[in-house]
Amino acid sequence: MLHFSKNNSIFIANGRICDDAGIGKVTCSEISIVDYLIVSPELFPFITEFQVVDFDPLISDGHCRLHVKFSTWATNDLHNNNPVEGDSKPVRWISDKKNQFVDKVENSLLLDVDELTNRIDEFDVNSISFQTNLDTFVEALNKGGFTNLS
């Protein structure tokens, strides 16, 4: 990774900036740094926040999330080069709603799996149109999941 970074004039920001400066907090299984923020030298001045977030088993099997925030002059009006102070509204995770979120995701997945199972059960393998129906089903699933399976 170091050789690749040097040859391509990019840098690993972990351990160099913001809350992680001089620390280099581990990102995987509490023993190593394998998740990197890799940036060009031109991007360093735009990084306003960098943090290795504590491990959460709901997010990963062993990796910590990297929280990164960049400053930018981008606005909703592409022709307006004068940004408005305080115009951005960052979305933050609300810890109190974690269980509600997990329940919603799990219930949604269960419904989708049930619907998928029902549709598969409806296939008649002895039908002349079985292969065509199966191909159409898989194609719709690949294009956008369960919503395209009407």
Whether 34 is covered by a domain: the verdict is: yes
Q: What is the pLDDT of residue 50?
A: 92
100 and 53 together in one domain: no
pLDDT digit string (tens) for 70-114?
888 766 655 555 555 656 666 777 888 888 888 777 776 666 677
9 and 43 together in one domain: yes
Domain that holds residue 136: 95-144
User: Higher confidence at residue 142 or residue 126?
Assistant: 126
Q: What is the mean pLDDT of residues 17-35?
A: 86
Give me the long-range contacts of 113-121 (CB less than 8 A, separation at least 24): 115/146, 115/149, 116/141, 116/146, 116/149, 119/149
Question: How many structural domains compose the chain?
Answer: 2
Whether 87 is covered by a domain: the verdict is: no
3 and 54 together in one domain: yes
20 and 59 together in one domain: yes
Question: Which among 70, 87, 110 is the end of a domain?
Answer: 70
pLDDT digit string (tens) for 33-73?
888 889 998 888 899 999 999 988 888 888 998 999 988 87
